[in-house]
Amino acid sequence: MLRGRQMSCRRMRIDLRSFLVLAAAALLLGTTQSAKALPSYARQTGQQCAACHNGFPELTPYGRLFKLNGYVFGGGQSDWPPLAVMVIPSFTQTESDQAGGAGPHYGPNNNFATPQSGSLFYGGAIASDLGVGAFAQTTYDHVLRRYAWDNTDIRYAKSTTLAGETVFGVSLNNNPGVTDLWNSTPAWGYPFLSSELAPTQSSKTMIEGAFAQQVVGLNGYTMWNRLIYAEFGAYSTLTKSADSALGVANPNNTDAIKGLAPYWRLAFQPQWGPNSFEIGVFGMAATINPGRVTGFGTDHKTDVGFDTQYQYLTDLHSISVEASWITENQNLSSTEAQTLAAGNPTNSHDHLRSFHAKTSYYFQQTYGATIGYFRTDGSGDPGLFSNSSAANSPNTTGWIGELDYMPFNHGGPEFWPWLNMKLGVQYIRYSKFDGAASNFDGAGRNAHSNNTLFLFDWIAF
């Protein structure tokens, strides 16, 4: 036993040393120059990080225009191809140990992931003259030991002066909401980064990632006078063999959309001086074969969301406030039939609601602090939640606090001025988890047992 403890401590020291070396190396890379944004986009545009991002990855008005116009803006002098790399070493501690380990190949607590994940991006113009560009990400997940495609958004955009400044575009993408220009909807919403080795709630609305990287969608969009934005598209599920080839985990257990699932987005965005404000609506409706099982009818889910964002951005101070609320109506005909056949009947109709809000402050786009709140509540259903919740409920509530330091927003190393990095300390506190504050799993685990300390070093180069 003593030998096992000594080995465990030795591994922890080695992992901690690796994490600190990665962080220190990025801090000590020598003489600095003008800092840039996401590396490949920065090389293409010649813009500083703060021009496109408020604390990254949250977009500024200019960053939204860059994405809206198909990722093709130029102005940079680099001849490097539009490729970028991201690595994220991290440390995760939960208030109480997780029985059986926090994940495959990891212990019950105090886990270092060096890195947690690593990604390769194609980010930038494909054909500038034609208005075609892309954000395409592939990721190696070190926790799951799996390589897969990640968020992908390939665009064609055209700007005209017809009836004012108008942009028309089309996006081919793989995640409902990945096209969005604001960071107040789920695909790009806060928290922008979280631990893969911490417990997560058992239930989320469909639009909060249920079909991420499992579908392909075609969306048309337009923005008039940088004021009114409209988007409409439809998504279709990939086959199991396609999902498997692209690295999707357990494709046999994923849900399948029957036919096409429509997606919509409307937003109104006035801007004045250093201020911008957005209020909008978004949603998705899908007829579903749960677990890809046929012969039991179908489920139908409709998500309707409302969101808002306010930004005050200056060189010295920046403030960002965001909120979203989603309501989901569920007709569970197929799930009810399948669970009834298995002897564990579920409700025929349920509802689910999700609320997220956060406020961030950055000083000189270098030192940042964020406070966030989240809440999920919905129908109690023994057929859906008996394995995760003693209360048979999805209700979860908590707070997130985060401190960030971004040393390269005003200078990168001489040999690679596009390096970007965010050092962060994040803490999640749960007041309710999967339906209860105490003994939520029926085995004595309390909501606060899942409180999570997460340290990360988010490096892009």
Q: Kindly indicate the confidence band of residue 441, based on its pLDDT and cuts at 50, 70 and 90.
A: very high
Residues near 252 by beta carbon (within 8 Å), at least 6 away in sequence:
240, 292
Three-state DSSP at 164 gives coil
Domains of the chain: 2-460 (2.40.160)
pLDDT digits (tens, 9 = 90+) for 73-91: 998 888 889 999 999 999 9
Contact 154, 172 (CB under 8 A): yes
pLDDT digits (tens, 9 = 90+) for 220-247: 999 999 999 999 999 999 999 999 999 9
Q: Kindly indicate the confidence band of residue 410, based on its pLDDT and cuts at 50, 70 and 90.
A: low
pLDDT digits (tens, 9 = 90+) for 275-293: 999 999 999 999 999 999 9
Question: For 259, which DSSP code?
Answer: S
Q: Which is it for strands 271-272 and 275-289: parallel, antiparallel or unpaired?
A: antiparallel
Q: Would you state the pLDDT for residue 411?
A: 61
Share of the chain above pLDDT 70, in %: 91
Tell me if the pTM is above 0.85: yes
Which of the residue ranges 6-20, 392-406, 409-423, 424-438 would you say has the lowest mean pLDDT? 6-20
Residues near 211 by beta carbon (within 8 Å), at least 6 away in sequence:
175, 176, 235, 237, 255, 257, 261, 286
Which of the residue ranges 44-58, 254-268, 391-405, 418-432 would you say has the lowest mean pLDDT? 44-58
Which residue do the tokens 């977009």 mark?
A: 59
Query: Higher confidence at residue 450 or residue 77?
Result: 450
Contact 123, 38 (CB under 8 A): yes
